[in-house]
Amino acid sequence: MSSTSSTKKRRGGPLLFLRQVVAELRKVVRPTRTELITYTSVVLVFVLAVMLYVSALDFGFGKLVLWAFGGSD
């Protein structure tokens, strides 16, 4: 059996790629201003909560290490 054109992958070139990119970008649904503010607020609150949690863990483990190894305060 020989390689025929049916087994080769078809290439479209850069223009086909750009047309497909533009077509996909037209399908994008952008959030409204209210949705954007809501999503941003949720992300900021979540990041703040994680920061506080990690800071508390860091502080607690730091105190635990100082207590365990007799560090001075």
Please check whether residue 65 is in contact with residue 71, taking contact to mean a CB–CB distance below 8 angstroms: yes
* Residue 71 in tokens: 């560090």
Which pLDDT value is given to residue 46? 99
| Residue 5 domain-assigned (yes or no) | no
Could you give the CA distance from residue 49 to residue 20 in angstroms, rounded to a whole number?
Answer: 40
**In this predicted model, what pLDDT tens digit does every residue of 28-54 receive, in sequence order?**
999 999 999 999 999 999 999 999 999
Confidence of residue 64 (pLDDT cuts 50, 70, 90): very high
Q: Work out how many domains the chain is built from and give that number.
A: 1
| Residue 15 domain-assigned (yes or no) | no
Could you give the CA distance from residue 26 to residue 5 in angstroms, rounded to a whole number?
Answer: 33
Alpha helices per DSSP H over 1-73: 13-26, 33-69
Which pLDDT value is given to residue 72? 66
Tell me what the pLDDT averaged over the chain comes to: 89
| Residue 53 domain-assigned (yes or no) | yes
| Residue 8 domain-assigned (yes or no) | no
| Residue 6 domain-assigned (yes or no) | no
**In this predicted model, what pLDDT tens digit does every residue of 49-63 receive, in sequence order?**
999 999 999 999 999
